Chains A and B, each alone.
Chain A
Amino acid sequence: MSVLIIIDQAPYGNWSGREALDMALSLAAFDQPVSLLFVGAGINWLRKQQNPAPIQQKGVNRNLAGATVFGIEELLADQDALQRYGLGAEDLLDGVAITHYDQDLLANYLHVVCQ
């Protein structure tokens, strides 16, 4: 039962992505296979240069940098979303795999959550 958590909302402006990440971390903590996919505005979670101190929020990039250490299998970034936001592989956190969002990708997962 492999789980895919899709994050399609940008960080900081609402809590949806944080709570989706918490779901992924919980699955990983219970040794359930889980991956995260970032599409649309959600791709902005993966930027290297994030400094949320001025808005008094915790940096999500630090949570994500530790994601694989905590047992999340893959951090996936959608190619089209990267292009849209002018991002290249060099702009992303380490450990992110670039993929293409489509039916075939989703077919690898028995449980898909798009919070």
Chain B
Amino acid sequence: MTASQFVQFTLVVTGAPYTSQAPQTALHFARAAIAAGHTIDRVFLYGDGVQLATNLACAPSDEPNWHRSWSEFLSAANIPAVACIASALRRGVINDEERARYERDANNLASPFQLLGLGEWVESVASTSKVIYFHAGG
């Protein structure tokens, strides 16, 4: 494979973990993309997908922990990870800044996710990145 065949992907996950298979399929895809030499410039969580960014979910010990798997993968591969702030606030996923702004008792945004706007997604759409969506099935 020549260098020109390598692609820059943006992955958009809109399905929630333990509700849909979307985060699992997306993680398998992401690992395979990196293994093949492609790059991922951004992972963007939108809609129900932001539930992947909470650090308060407790999977039963005999089930795979998709929150942890994703966080570990993103940190190890050094991939910028964004949860849409509007989707996240509605669903109770907040960082320390928003905790202070909305005067809540706790924050729960998992590392390495950041809360940012849809402009991050627009930037990927407007760039040469290939944007791949992982929606909830049905």
Chains A and B in contact, CB within 8 Å: yes
Residues of A within 8 A of B42 (CB): none
Q: Please state if A19 and B125 are interface contacts (CB–CB under 8 Å).
A: no
- Given A26-B119, A30-B119: A3 and B125 interface contact (C-beta under 8 Å): yes
Q: A32 is contacted by which of B47, B87, B126, B135 (Cβ under 8 Å)?
A: B126
Q: Please state if A115 and B118 are interface contacts (CB–CB under 8 Å).
A: no
Complex Cα gap A1–B86 (Å): 25
Q: B131 is contacted by which of A22, A111, A115 (Cβ under 8 Å)?
A: A111
Give the interface residue-count category, chain A: 10 to 19
Complex Cα gap A26–B120 (Å): 10
Interface residues of A in 16-43 (CB under 8 A from B): 16, 19, 22-23, 26-27, 30, 32
Complex Cα gap A1–B14 (Å): 22
Give the interface residue-count category, chain B: 10 to 19
Q: Please state if A16 and B125 are interface contacts (CB–CB under 8 Å).
A: no
Interface string of B57-98 (1 = CB under 8 A from A): 000000000000000000000000000001100000000000
Decide if B1 is an interface residue (CB 8 Å cutoff). no
Interface string of B117-135 (1 = CB under 8 A from A): 1110110011000010101
For the complex of A and B, list the 9 residue pairs with the smallest distance between their C-beta atoms, beginning with the closest: A26-B118, A30-B122, A19-B47, A26-B122, A27-B122, A32-B126, A111-B125, A115-B14, A32-B122
